Structure 1
Amino acid sequence: MSKSYPLLRCLALYREMPWRFALTATLFAASNLSMAWQQWLLGRAIHDVELGKAVVAQADGSLDYSVALGWLAILVAVALGRGLIQYLGGLLALIIGQDLLFILRERIFAQVQHLDLAYHREHGVGGMVTRTTRDSDKLRDALVNFWRQVFETALLIIATVGMLCWYSPLLGLVPLVITLGGMAILVKQTDKLVTLDRAVGQAYDNVNQNLTEGVSGVRVIKAFGLEPSRVADFTTQVNQFAFHSRQALAYACSHIPLPQIIIALGHVWVLAYGAHLVGKGELNIGELVASVLLANTLVLRVEGIGRVMQVFADARASAARIWELLDARPTIVSGQHKLPDGELGVRLDKVSVHPAQKDKAILQQCDLNLRPGEIIALVGTTGSGKSTLLGLLPRLIEADEGLIQLGNDQQGWQDITQLDTENLRRRVHVVAQESFLFSDTLAANMRLAKPDASDEDILEALRLASADDVLLRLENGLDTRIGDRGITLSGGQRQRICLARALLGQASLLGLDDATSALDAATEQRIIDNIRQLKHSQGRSLSLLIVSSKLSTVLLADKVALLEQGRIVAVGTHQELAQHNSVYRELMGVSSGQ
C-alpha cells in the first residue's frame, strides 16, 4: 500500500486477525442495516395508526389492541436484537483495537532493537518513547473509532439513502450530495490538522527527551546545583507543547462547525420535501416520520465524524511517525557465514570511516594486525577515533573503506561484512566505559551474555573479572536487585560486573573501551593476568584490544597502537614507542628512557 496513506496502512494490520475482523464487520453491518429496517417498521406501524388499524373499536365498545401490541412486540424485539449486536460488535472492536496496539508496540520495540546505533544517535530516546506510547495510543483510539465513525457510518449512509430513495429518489439523493459535500470539507481540513499535530508530536518528543535526561542525569544535575535551570527548561518545553496543542484544538473548534451545518441541511430537505410529497399523496405520514428519523440518525452520525476528526488527524500524524520508524532499514546487513571455532585475530587493511557530512574522516587508512591471544593497547588523544575503531569489530559501526578480517592462520580469515551478525557479536564483544546494567538481579544481568549459565559459571566469570568481592557485599548474593543502571553499585563495581558478563559469554575477541578506567592498577593487573591464564585453565585464549589512557593499562599489553588524527601512526611495544615516538611520550607522560 502506498506510503502516502500511513493510517490506511495501520488498518491493513487487521489482516493479522482475519476471522475476528470479518465477524466484527458482519456484526456492524447487521446493526446498521437493521437500523434502517427498524425505522421502516416504525413507519409502517405509524401508517397503521393513521389508517386506524392499530387500535380497532369493536361493536361492543371495546378496543382491539392486537395489531398495536403486535407492532410493539416486533419493535421491541428488533431494538433488543440491535442492542445485543451493537454490544458484541463494540466489544470485539475494542478487543481487536487493543490487540493491534500490542502488535504495533511489539513491532516498534523490535525495530528499535534492530536498527543501527547511527539511527539511535540521530533520533534520540524521546522520539522512540513517543512513538511507543503517545503515537500508539492515538492510533489505538483511531482504530477503535474506525468502526463507529467510518465503517459503521458508511453502512448507515448506504442503508439510509437506499431507504429514502425507495420512498422517493430525490428524497435520498439530495441528502447524499449534501452529506458528501460536508464530508469532503471535513477531509480537506484534516491536512491542516495533521500539520498542526506533527508540531504537537515534535514538542512532545522534546518533553520526553528532557524528562528522560532529567531522570537519568539526576546525579549530575544535583552535583552542579542545576535543579532550578532544569526545571525552567522543562517548563519551557511543556509550555511549547501546550501552545501547539492549543493551536490544533482551536483550529478544530473553529473549522469543524461549518461542514456540520452543511450536513444538517440534509435533515431540513427531508422534512420539507417529505411534507411536499405527503401533500401530493405520494408519501404517507408513517413514511414521512420514518424518513425524518432516518435523516436525523444520518445527520447525527455524520456530525459525530466531525467531532472525532481531531482524533483521526492526530492518528494520521502519529501513523506517519510510526511508519517512518518501521520503514527505516538498517545500514548494516547481516552476512551468512559463521566464524570458525577457536582463536580469533583481527586484520585491518586501509580502513576508513567518514562522518555523515563526509568532510573529514574519523578513521583514515588504518592498518592493524592483532594476532589470536594477543593484547594490544590502543592509545590516542580524545577524538582520535579509538571508540569508533572498537565499534567496527562487532559491526556496531560500518567501515566506509577498506577491509576488516577475523579469523586465524590455521582456519583462514573472513571478511567481516560476510559474517552473520548474531554469530559475530557472540564471538566479538565490546565493553564500553559507560557500564550499563538493567534494573534486575545480578544473576539476570550476567545471564544476558549466556542464558543457560549456571551459578558456578557466573561465579567463575566474576572471579576472572576480580568482582567476587562485589558479590560478598550484596545482601542476597546473585539474587540481589542492583537497581536502575546499577545505581546501588560504584563505578568500579559496575565496570567489573560488565567485564564479567562479557567473559561469561566466552567471546574470543574482547574490546575494552576504557572499561577499566575506574579500577586501580592492582585490580586491573589481576584481571589481565586471569585472562592470560585462560589458555591454561580453560583451553581457550582471548584476544584483547584495550582503549586506555592509563600507563598502568598500557604496560600490561603485548603491543601498543598509537592513533593520531584518525590514523594508526605507530605500532610497537611500550619501550619501542617511548624511545622512538615523541607523540607517544607526550601522550603518556613518559621520557625516552622509560
Structure 2
Amino acid sequence: MKKIFSYTRQHKFVTIMGAISMLLCVSADLVVPYITEIFIDDVLTAGKYEILTTIIWIVVGITAIKFAFGFLREFLFDYLGITISRKIKEELFNHIEGLSFSYFDKVNTGELMSRVGEDADNILEIMGFGLRLTIEDGIYFIMAAVLLFRISVPLTLVALATMPIIAVLALKSEKQLNDVYERISDHIAELNTTAQENIAGVKLVKAFGREKHEILKFLRYNSKNYDLQMEHNKIWVKFFPLEEFLTNLSTVLVISIGGILAIYDQITVGQLVGFTSYLWMLTWPMRDLGWLINLLSRGKASIGKINKILAIEPKVADCENPEELKGINEGIVFENVSFNYGEKDVLKNINLNIPAGSTVAVMGTTGSGKSTLISLLGRNYDVTKGCIKIDGEDIRNLKVKSLRDNIALIPQDSFLFSDTVESNLKYGKLDASMEEMEKVVELACAKEFVDELDEGYDTLIGERGVGLSGGQKQRLCIARALLRDSKILILDDSTSALDMDTEYQLLKNLYEEEDKKTTFIIAHRISAVKNADLILYMEDGVIVEQGNHQQLLDKKGKYFEIYETQFKDFLDLSDDKAANF
C-alpha cells in the first residue's frame, strides 16, 4: 500500500480536494439528525413555528452542499483511482519491457497479462471506491458514536454491544479471504495462459485435431477456478449474514430500549428519532465492513503480485559510467567466452577475432549454442566467463541501448505486428522515407509480392503476419532489419523458408551492399554460408571447425559431411558426367 500512497502524493491537490469534499458531505449528513431532533422537539412538540423557516433554509443548504460536494467527491476519487491505475499499468509495463531475456524464459505471457490487466484494475476499485469508502465509514462511525453518547450514554452502550463481535468476525474473514485471493490470483494467471496459448496456437490445434483435448484442459483449469471462487463464496456467506444479523440486532435493541426510555421521559421523541438516524451511520459502516474487507483483500493480493514483479531487477543493466557505441571500426573479439544456463554449460571457451565488415556464418547441430553465441553479442544474456569486445571495449562497459541500436536482428520466429506493411517496416526506423523502404524491400527480394498486395504498403496484415507465406514473412522481417541500418546484422536461421534462388539473390544483395555490415548468419544450408568470410561449425557449445568454405572442404570434417549430404545428387551427377568423358 505504501506504493499506492506514493502516487497520491503526486496528486496532492486532487487528494486534498477530494478529502475536503468528503468531509463536507459527512458533516452535512451528521447535521441532518440534529435538525430532525430540533424539528420534532421544538417545532412539532413545543410549537416554536418561528424557527421553521430557518430549519427549511438549513435543510436546503445541506442538500446543496451534499449535491455539489458529493459530485466533486465522486469525480475526484474516481479520477484519482483511474490516474493511479494508469500510472501503475505504465510503470509495470515499462518495468516488464526493461527486464532481461532470462526473466521471460521462465514467466508465462498469461500471468503478465493478468498483472497488467486485472490486478491493475483491482487497484482502480480500491482507490476509486474502496479506500475512500473505508475512510468515510471510519469517520461516520467515530463521529456518530460521539454524537450518540451526547444523546444517551446507556442507549449508546446498547448500540455498541454487538460491534466487538462484528470486528472479530471481520478480522477472521480478512485472514481467510487474503489466503484464497492469493490462490485465485495465481490460478487466473494460469487460466489466462492456457487460453492465450491455445488461441495463439489454434492452427496447430486444428491441424492435429486436438480441439477436444484442449477444451478438456481448459475445463480442468476452469473447474479449479470455480472451486476457488466457491471457496471464497463460502467464506463470504459464513461471515457476512452473521454481520448483517448483528447490525440489525443492534437496531432492534436500540428501538426497543429507546422506546421504553422515551415513554418514561428519559429521552425525548426527537432525541430518539435523531439517535436512530445516527445509529444508521454507526451500523452502515459495520454492514460495509465485510464487503470492504472482501474488496481490500482482493486489492492487497493484486498489489502484492504487482510489487513482486516491480521488485525484480534486470540481470543485464548499464554499468556506472557506460560508454556510447557509435560504430564499429576495428571488429569484434570473443575472449575465452563461456556461458552457463542454470547448471548447463551452453558455450565453452569461445575465442574469435572478427574484423569489421566481415561475414561470419555459424552452423552446427541443434542445441549446439549457435543462437546463444549471437545472443551474447547483444547482451540478451551476459557471459559467465571471459568477455566480448567491440573495438577493444568490453560490451559490458557500453550502454545497453547504444549497443542494441547498432544491432539489427532477424530472429528465427518471423514476428510481424497486426498492422500495415509500412508500419511493420518502420518498426526498424520510424522516420524512414518511402524511398528507403522501397530500397530495403528490393534488397530483401520482397518487392514483387509487396507490389502485388491489394493496397501495397498500406495493406493490413493479420496477427503475426497471418495471410502471408513463411517466406514472405521472413523477407519482410529481413527488410525491416535492413531499414534499421545498424552496423551489425544478424540472420538467425532467417532464410529457412526461402527457396534456393530467392535465398541466393537475397544473400548476393547483402554481400554486394556498398556499406558492408558486420554480418552473422546462422543457417543449416551450405548454400546460405558458403560465401562467408568465416564459417564456424559448433557442437556441444564448442567450435569444432572454422575457416572459409574451401578450407573446411579440404579438412574433410563435419562441414564436408554436410556438404556431401546436401549436394549428393549433384556430386553423383558430376561423377557420371566425368566418367562419360
TM-score by length of 1: 0.89
Cα 1:571–1:268 change in 2 (3 A) is same
Structure 1 stretch displaced more, 12-21 or 126-135: 12-21
CA–CA separation in structure 2 for the residues paired with 1:199 and 1:309:
17
- The answer to whether the Cα contact below 8 Å between 2:328 and 2:390 also exists between their aligned partners in 1 is no
Aligned residues: 567
- The answer to whether the Cα contact below 8 Å between 1:182 and 1:260 also exists between their aligned partners in 2 is no
How far residue 94 of structure 1 moved from its aligned partner, in angstroms, is 1.9
Instruction: Give the corresponding residue for 1:550.
Output: 525
1:524-552 Cα distance to aligned partner (Å, 9 max, x none): 22222222222xx3xx2201111111111
Given candidates 120, 129, 150, the residue that maps to 1:145 is 129
Cα 1:591–1:103 change in 2 (3 A) is closer
CA–CA separation in structure 2 for the residues paired with 1:78 and 1:331:
59
1:108 aligns with 2:92: yes
TM-score by length of 2: 0.91
RMSD: 2.6
CA–CA separation in structure 1 for the residues paired with 2:241 and 2:501:
76
How far residue 515 of structure 1 moved from its aligned partner, in angstroms, is 0.8
- The answer to whether the Cα contact below 8 Å between 1:275 and 1:288 also exists between their aligned partners in 2 is yes
Given candidates 444, 463, 483, the residue that maps to 1:504 is 483
Which 5+ residue runs of structure 1 have no aligned equivalent?
1-6, 55-64, 408-412
Q: How does 1:365-404 map to 2 (within 5 A)?
A: 365-404=349-388
Structure 1 stretch displaced more, 396-405 or 279-288: 279-288
1:9-39 Cα distance to aligned partner (Å, 9 max, x none): 3243222321111111111111112222221
Instruction: Give the corresponding residue for 2:309.
Output: 325
Q: How does 1:264-343 map to 2 (within 5 A)?
A: 264=248, 266-267=250-251, 270-271=254-255, 283-335=267-319, 336-343=322-329
1:52 aligns with 2:38: no
Given candidates 504, 512, 529, the residue that maps to 1:533 is 512
Instruction: Give the corresponding residue for 2:16.
Output: 22
How far residue 522 of structure 1 moved from its aligned partner, in angstroms, is 2.4
1:225 aligns with 2:212: no
Given candidates 232, 237, 249, the residue that maps to 2:233 is 249
Structure 1 stretch displaced more, 166-175 or 370-379: 166-175
How far residue 483 of structure 1 moved from its aligned partner, in angstroms, is 1.7
How far residue 430 of structure 1 moved from its aligned partner, in angstroms, is 2.1
Cα 1:148–1:303 change in 2 (3 A) is farther
1:41-100 Cα distance to aligned partner (Å, 9 max, x none): 21222221464224xxxxxxxxxx443454344334323422332232112222222222
Instruction: Give the corresponding residue for 2:552.
Output: 577
1:253-296 Cα distance to aligned partner (Å, 9 max, x none): 11233344445555466556756765786643322321221112
Instruction: Give the corresponding residue for 1:564.
Output: 539
Structure 1 stretch displaced more, 160-169 or 247-256: 160-169
1:214 aligns with 2:193: no
1:153-178 Cα distance to aligned partner (Å, 9 max, x none): 11112221221233355655775685
Instruction: Give the corresponding residue for 2:336.
Output: 350
How far residue 389 of structure 1 moved from its aligned partner, in angstroms, is 1.2
Aligned partner of residue 289 in structure 2, secondary structure: helix
Given candidates 431, 434, 437, the residue that maps to 1:455 is 434
How far residue 399 of structure 1 moved from its aligned partner, in angstroms, is 1.5
Aligned partner of residue 107 in structure 2, secondary structure: helix
Aligned partner of residue 443 in structure 1, secondary structure: helix
Aligned partner of residue 362 in structure 1, secondary structure: strand
1:191 aligns with 2:175: yes
Q: Residue 43 of structure 1 aligns to which amino acid in structure 2?
A: E
Structure 1 stretch displaced more, 268-277 or 180-189: 268-277
How far residue 118 of structure 1 moved from its aligned partner, in angstroms, is 1.7
How far residue 248 of structure 1 moved from its aligned partner, in angstroms, is 1.1
CA–CA separation in structure 2 for the residues paired with 1:288 and 1:313:
37
CA–CA separation in structure 2 for the residues paired with 1:523 and 1:292:
87
How far residue 460 of structure 1 moved from its aligned partner, in angstroms, is 0.9
CA–CA separation in structure 2 for the residues paired with 1:18 and 1:141:
20
1:117 aligns with 2:101: yes
- The answer to whether the Cα contact below 8 Å between 2:491 and 2:521 also exists between their aligned partners in 1 is yes
- The answer to whether the Cα contact below 8 Å between 1:204 and 1:241 also exists between their aligned partners in 2 is yes
Instruction: Give the corresponding residue for 2:80.
Output: 96
Instruction: Give the corresponding residue for 1:35.
Output: 29
CA–CA separation in structure 2 for the residues paired with 1:50 and 1:122:
75
CA–CA separation in structure 1 for the residues paired with 2:160 and 2:68:
29
- The answer to whether the Cα contact below 8 Å between 2:81 and 2:123 also exists between their aligned partners in 1 is no
How far residue 560 of structure 1 moved from its aligned partner, in angstroms, is 1.1
CA–CA separation in structure 2 for the residues paired with 1:154 and 1:12:
22
- The answer to whether the Cα contact below 8 Å between 1:332 and 1:395 also exists between their aligned partners in 2 is yes
Instruction: Give the corresponding residue for 1:61.
Output: none
Q: How does 1:399-438 map to 2 (within 5 A)?
A: 399-407=383-391, 413-438=392-417
How far residue 183 of structure 1 moved from its aligned partner, in angstroms, is 3.1
CA–CA separation in structure 2 for the residues paired with 1:148 and 1:450:
46
Structure 1 stretch displaced more, 394-403 or 142-151: 142-151
Q: Percent identity among equivalent residues?
A: 27
- The answer to whether the Cα contact below 8 Å between 1:197 and 1:313 also exists between their aligned partners in 2 is yes
CA–CA separation in structure 1 for the residues paired with 2:137 and 2:82:
22
How far residue 147 of structure 1 moved from its aligned partner, in angstroms, is 4.6
1:370-416 Cα distance to aligned partner (Å, 9 max, x none): 21111111111111111111111111122222101112xxxxx2111
Aligned partner of residue 546 in structure 2, secondary structure: strand
How far residue 432 of structure 1 moved from its aligned partner, in angstroms, is 0.6
Q: Residue 552 of structure 1 aligns to which amino acid in structure 2?
A: S
1:309-365 Cα distance to aligned partner (Å, 9 max, x none): 322221111111112122221111124211133546321112122123x2x211122
- The answer to whether the Cα contact below 8 Å between 2:338 and 2:346 also exists between their aligned partners in 1 is yes
Cα 1:471–1:424 change in 2 (3 A) is same
Which 5+ residue runs of structure 2 have no aligned equivalent?
572-581
CA–CA separation in structure 1 for the residues paired with 2:174 and 2:521:
56
Instruction: Give the corresponding residue for 2:59.
Output: 75
Q: Residue 120 of structure 1 aligns to which amino acid in structure 2?
A: F
How far residue 562 of structure 1 moved from its aligned partner, in angstroms, is 1.7
- The answer to whether the Cα contact below 8 Å between 2:443 and 2:510 also exists between their aligned partners in 1 is yes
- The answer to whether the Cα contact below 8 Å between 2:338 and 2:386 also exists between their aligned partners in 1 is yes
Q: Residue 221 of structure 1 aligns to which amino acid in structure 2?
A: V
Q: Residue 472 of structure 1 aligns to which amino acid in structure 2?
A: D
Q: Residue 580 of structure 1 aligns to which amino acid in structure 2?
A: K
CA–CA separation in structure 2 for the residues paired with 1:487 and 1:345:
39
Aligned partner of residue 364 in structure 1, secondary structure: strand
Q: Residue 355 of structure 1 aligns to which amino acid in structure 2?
A: Y
CA–CA separation in structure 2 for the residues paired with 1:404 and 1:354:
15
Structure 1 stretch displaced more, 577-586 or 482-491: 577-586
CA–CA separation in structure 1 for the residues paired with 2:330 and 2:101:
25
CA–CA separation in structure 1 for the residues paired with 2:18 and 2:416:
45
Aligned partner of residue 345 in structure 2, secondary structure: coil
Structure 1 stretch displaced more, 87-96 or 379-388: 87-96
Structure 1 stretch displaced more, 171-180 or 239-248: 171-180
Aligned partner of residue 381 in structure 2, secondary structure: coil
CA–CA separation in structure 2 for the residues paired with 1:84 and 1:116:
50
CA–CA separation in structure 2 for the residues paired with 1:137 and 1:564:
49
CA–CA separation in structure 2 for the residues paired with 1:147 and 1:434:
46
Structure 1 stretch displaced more, 472-481 or 434-443: 472-481
- The answer to whether the Cα contact below 8 Å between 1:525 and 1:556 also exists between their aligned partners in 2 is no
Aligned partner of residue 214 in structure 1, secondary structure: helix
Structure 1 stretch displaced more, 346-355 or 180-189: 180-189
